[in-house]
């Protein structure tokens, strides 16, 4: 994977969440080449921006609850 800046990583994260293919926070950290606390910060930023993000324990992935 090529170097991605913070904005691109957050956009990729949102895309994965929209497609319900994000996986766990640990898997996201590996995919985005960031630490687990950074993934949590990115999720918090998306939530602050108005995205309602949930986590499904049976499918083990993040998803959008509603529209922004």
Each residue of 18-49: pLDDT tens digit? 999 999 999 999 999 999 999 999 999 999 99
Least confident of 2-6, 18-22, 50-54: 2-6
Give the angle 12-16-21 at the CA atoms, nearest 5°: 150
pLDDT for 53 equals 96
Is the pLDDT at 10 greater than 60, yes or no? yes
Q: According to the model, what pLDDT value does residue 66 have?
A: 78
- What is the value of pTM for the model shown? 0.87
What pLDDT does 2 receive? Answer: 58
Residues 6 or more apart from 9 whose CB is under 8 A from it? 32, 34, 42
Under DSSP, the state recorded for 54 is E
Token pair, residue 67, equals: 């529209």
Domain ranges of the chain: 6-52
């Amino acid at each position: 994977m090529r170097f991605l800046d913070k904005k691109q990583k957050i956009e990729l994260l949102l895309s994965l969440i929209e497609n319900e293919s994000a996986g766990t926070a640990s898997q996201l950290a590996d995919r985005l080449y960031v630490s687990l606390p950074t993934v949590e910060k990115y999720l918090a930023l998306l939530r602050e921006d108005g995205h309602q993000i949930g986590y499904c324990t049976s499918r083990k992935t993040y998803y959008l609850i509603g529209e922004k």
